Structure 1
Amino acid sequence: MATTPKAYLQITLDVDAANREDAAKVYATYKEPFLKEIPGAVSKELLIRDEDVQVQHGFNSVEDAQAYLKSDLFNNDVVGGLKDLLNSDPEIRIYSVN
């Protein structure tokens, strides 16, 4: 049975349409390691809109979401894979579920 997230990390990426397939590859590459290795990780979804790309991460707690942003997987692998595809810094928000 899946765990219901208690917090969400939303990362909005400004990526040109021509680079979205490459951004989706980064998402696909690191989805499984995220779910298996990151403490408190519950879900990860890619949302593609005309104006941007969003990644929604579900966590057991706000603290787990904050810790992920400091992890090697996020900073070295995900950010490293996306850095040449982004037009600007990502917009990062953390939400708690009540």
Structure 2
Amino acid sequence: MTSESGPSSSKQEAMPTALELKQRLLSGTLEAGKFIDGIMQLDQSTPSREHSLENIQILTSPEVASIFENDARYKFPYLNLLSLLLPSWADRSR
């Protein structure tokens, strides 16, 4: 039996970009809750104004917004994430 992980092996996968998450959400290969989690992880792992702006643009795109406007389970988490990112982006622009 061989070990799949070790000191020299890379267990960490590359984190998808916000655009990749959006494409997966729109294609149906990523559920809405995992999309929200992914965007939140991206924002926390790369705290820069540019990344925050990209995340906000993805979240407010008409295609993404329409998914969450029509899904009662994820509407509140979606709006909550927007409310967290918008002030964060404004603070980083100073």
TM-score interval, smaller chain: 0.3 to 0.5
Normalising by structure 2, report the TM-score: 0.35
Normalising by structure 1, report the TM-score: 0.34
Larger Rg: 2
Structure (1/2) with the larger strand percentage: 1
